[in-house]
């Protein structure tokens, strides 16, 4: 039961941090500037989304620290004892890292509660979100290697995580924009959604290429060419295969959006024809893509608890 609780906490802290980073970044490049985007900038939903992401990641980070404390000490009750928690924080590397995440996320929450929506706020949140996301590389398999190999592996892991945040963090606000556009049935909201989708499509190819390249590097370190058959025979390998299948499905949907559905919406907006059919098609595709992204995060959380094939050397 405790293992499942720790796994759930890992999933939620990953999801919250990725959304905090990626959504803040999306608000900076996806909304753009000018009168066309003024309405979205003034609305409270971007601020609320970031606040929810911060609170979820913060609560999950605390739960993860408590769960790890209970697991390491062998006593579930130690999860709520300050002496046990402080010992883990001061005496272990992952404990100190967890405490730093809690501190950064607490600052992010305070800033969101104290300041109004602005591009400066989004820049701060993206920066703090990037720190939290990157920190996962030091508490995962990326910390296994030392020396130059360790630097390369950890650096690749950091870039992989940040690229995932750009993609996953954009899907949530895009889904919300599409839902709002369909609910309002106004051409202005449809135009805002169309421009945001176009801007995201512009960075999508770079994100996918980065994920593929860094994924290959990480797999080289964690599996190795000599152990490639263990992809199909070990729990880690089978979970990785599931992740790759989900990632492939996300790429298919992303390509469909970029080359078919977004151009259809753009044509509708330009021609002043009905936009509802195109918006509904995009809503379905983006929402499914978001659901697949959540499943990917769950698999990533699981992979962090499994021993990779190279650990048997």
Q: Across 20-24, 151-155, 264-268, 300-304, which has the greatest mean pLDDT?
A: 20-24
Percent of the chain at pLDDT above 90? 48
pLDDT at 263 over 80: yes
pLDDT of residue 100: 94
Mean pLDDT calculated for residue range 205-221? 91
181, 281 Cβ separation under 8 angstroms? no
Output Rg (C-alpha) for the chain, integer angstroms.
21
Measured CA to CA, the distance from residue 61 to residue 10 in angstroms comes to: 8
pLDDT of residue 148: 76
As a whole number, the mean pLDDT across the chain is: 87
Band of residue 161 on the pLDDT scale cut at 50, 70, 90: very high
Q: Is 273 left (phi over 0), alpha (psi -120 to 50) or beta?
A: beta
13, 101 Cβ separation under 8 angstroms? yes
Band of residue 270 on the pLDDT scale cut at 50, 70, 90: confident
pLDDT of residue 193: 85
170-175-180 Cα angle (round to 5): 130
Alpha helices in the chain (DSSP H): 2-30, 35-42, 45-73, 82-91, 93-114, 119-135, 147-184, 187-222, 235-256, 262-270, 276-303
pLDDT of residue 143: 60
pLDDT at 115 over 80: no
pLDDT of residue 82: 81
pLDDT of residue 312: 61
72 burial (CB, 10 Å; 0-12 / 13-18 / 19+) is middle
pLDDT of residue 123: 92
pLDDT of residue 306: 87
175, 291 Cβ separation under 8 angstroms? no
Q: Tokens at residue 69, please?
A: 């404390």
Query: How many CA atoms are closer than 13 Å to the CA of 260, on its beta-carbon side?
Result: 8
């Amino acid at each position: 039961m405790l293992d499942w609780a720790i796994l759930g906490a890992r999933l939620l802290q990953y999801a919250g941090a990725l959304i905090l980073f990626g959504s803040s970044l999306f608000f900076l490049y996806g909304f753009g500037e000018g009168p066309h985007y003024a309405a979205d900038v003034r609305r409270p939903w971007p601020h609320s989304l970031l606040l929810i992401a911060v609170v979820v990641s913060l609560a999950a980070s605390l739960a993860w620290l408590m769960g790890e404390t209970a697991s390491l000490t062998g006593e579930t009750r130690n999860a709520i004892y300050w002496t046990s928690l402080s010992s883990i924080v001061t005496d272990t590397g992952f404990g100190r890292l967890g405490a730093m995440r809690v501190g950064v996320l607490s600052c992010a929450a305070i800033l969101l509660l104290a300041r109004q929506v602005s591009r400066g706020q989004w820049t701060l949140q993206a920066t703090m979100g990037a720190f939290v996301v990157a920190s996962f590389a030091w508490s995962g398999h990326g910390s296994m290697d030392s020396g130059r190999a360790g630097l390369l592996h950890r650096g690749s892991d950091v870039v992989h995580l940040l690229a995932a945040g750009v993609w996953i963090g954009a899907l949530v606000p895009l889904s919300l924009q599409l839902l709002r556009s369909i609910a309002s049935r106004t051409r202005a909201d449809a135009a805002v959604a169309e421009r945001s989708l176009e801007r995201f499509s512009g960075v999508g190819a770079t994100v996918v290429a980065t994920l593929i390249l860094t994924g290959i590097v990480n797999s080289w370190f964690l599996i190795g060419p000599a152990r490639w058959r263990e992809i199909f025979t070990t729990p880690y390998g089978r979970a990785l295969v599931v992740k790759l299948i989900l990632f492939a499905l996300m790429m298919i949907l992303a390509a469909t959006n970029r080359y078919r559905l977004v151009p259809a919406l753009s044509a509708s907006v330009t021609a002043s024809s009905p936009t509802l059919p195109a918006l509904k098609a995009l809503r379905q595709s983006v929402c499914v893509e978001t659901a697949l992204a959540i499943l990917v995060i769950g698999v990533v959380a699981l992979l962090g608890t499994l021993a990779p094939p190279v650990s048997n050397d």
